[in-house]
Structure formats: C-alpha cells, structure tokens
Structure 1
Amino acid sequence: MTTSGYREIDHTADVGFEIWADSIPGLFAEAVLALSEVCYERTAVLWAEERSMEVRGTDPEEQLVRWLQETYLQLESGLWLTAAATNVVVKGEMVKGILHGEPIDPARHTLHSEIKAITYHGLKIVREHGLWRTTVVVDV
C-alpha cells in the first residue's frame, strides 16, 4: 500500500472513502482528493488558481469535517473546483492550507453528485502500522 491515498468503499445510500497518509496534514490533503472525486472528474481540473483556506475544530475529526465542508463550499457557493490541497498545516485547533483549482467550465467539467452533508458516521482518525487512517462518509 502506498504511503497516502484513498479508495471508495461500499456504503448503503451514501458514499464512503477509506483515506490514509503518513501524516495528519497528508490525511487532510487526501480527503480533499476523495471528496472532489465524488463531485466531478478531479483530473480534468487545472491548477489555475489558489485559494487559502483555514478552519478550526476542537479535535481532529471535527477539523476534518469542517475542512471538507469548506472545500465543498467552494464548489457549492463559488462554482469553483478543487484539484488538490497543498501546504496543509494542523496546529492546535487550526487547520490551514492552499486549495488549487479553477472556476467551473461547463465545456470541460461535468458534475457528478451533489453532497447533502459530510457526516460524522463512524469517523475516527487513527494511527495504524505507521499510517494515519480514517473513513469519511458523505450523504449524497
């Protein structure tokens, strides 16, 4: 298994992802990739623009949910697609990083699913065999 990545998992009526990375910031960056794939073909999105993002949460699980909510808000309210997250820093209650992406171009981008909610269902961030792991379930 690679040191970071994600894979879709079967989940009744929702979409779930198992995510892993060698660090908490890496886990948050991989989670952005997984979430993006639910909504659109992420590999078709150019790294044309950058947006700084910062969220706060009392624990890593709350931070991750808020991080993904804010990422999805870029699409929902700003019609902006995220290709990747870089320079992710987790310090205390704060998570910040840079989103790379571009505005939606209907000629090149097709939206797949609308997300109703990023859930806390079964959400727990753990360290196993030298990797940080979590499972994220989104309500579509």
Structure 2
Amino acid sequence: MNLNKKDFEFIEHTADAKFKAYGKNLNEVLENAAYATFRSMLDLSDVEPTLKKEINLSSSELDELLFNWISELIYYFDAENIVFKDFNAQVEKTKQGYELFSKVYGEKINPKKHKFETEVKAITYHDLEIEEKNGYQVQVVLDT
C-alpha cells in the first residue's frame, strides 16, 4: 500500500468512525477501505504482517461486497483476536455479480504492543457508498 498519496481520509461523525477510501480500481479501493478500518482502531505501524488469512467472498452488488469484506475482517478481529495491516484484494466481475479473492496479513493482538484508540463493533449500511469517480471511492461508517 502506498500511503504517500491520498488512500483514505477520516470524516467527522458524531458517534461513529466514518471514512472515505480511494483507489484507481476496485482492488485498491477495497484494500484501502480495509486499511482505514483497522487504522480507525489503532496505529498500524506496530503491527507486523506475520500471519496470513485468505478471504474469498461473492456478492451480487458492489456495496454488498464492500459490506461483507469489512464485516469479515471485523469478524476475524473479534473472534480470533487478529489485527490486519496489509491487504491484497482481487475482484472479478461474474454473471452473478462480483467475487473477491484476498490475502490479508497481520498478527494476533498483543495488549502490551497494540494500543487501541477506538473499538469497532461493525460496519453499518448508513451512508455506505461505492462509486466510480476517477477510479473508485467508497464511504463507510463503522459502529464504534
């Protein structure tokens, strides 16, 4: 992930975490949305990508794919105590919609090492957007 350009930005929200993520294609925008999700929780510079998970999803609509992608990542965070930092997403258009094949990298949560700023409970459908605009742009609200 190249963080020298604008990959995502946090947007003021009264109660939850909200961000926009950007990418030149669907793969990149989903990777940046995943990164922003975990960045909203903690500083990722302390996370080492020593553990790998493969996540494969399919959805009929892009916004549903985005929702399911972030939900799955939060599930691994909650259920297996994993924080992710690096994301490799490959989206393919199919007759039924879209398929996502991904590899994500991170490590088990270590309370002595990882200092959490926010607890993310779930992604919401509120203000969820995905659009093609000079590449792709998504907007996500996370329930904190």
The residue aligned with 1:132 is 136
Q: Which AA in structure 1 matches 2:57?
A: V
How much has 1:29 moved relative to structure 2?
0.2
* Map 1:107-118 → 2, pairs under 5 A: 107-118=112-123
Length-normalised TM-score, structure 1: 0.90
The residue aligned with 1:89 is 90
* Structural RMSD (CA): 1.5
Check the 8 A contact 2:33/2:138 in 1, yes or no: no
**Structure 2: unaligned runs, 5 residues or longer:** none
**Structure 1: unaligned runs, 5 residues or longer:** none
How much has 1:113 moved relative to structure 2?
2.0
How much has 1:3 moved relative to structure 2?
6.0
Task: Give the paired residue count.
Answer: 137
Runs of 4+ in structure 1 over 6 Å off: none
Distance in 1 between the 2:100 and 2:6 partners? 19
Distance in 1 between the 2:63 and 2:44 partners? 24
The residue aligned with 2:125 is 120
Length-normalised TM-score, structure 2: 0.88
The residue aligned with 2:55 is 53
Equivalent of 2:31, from 29, 32, 43? Answer: 29
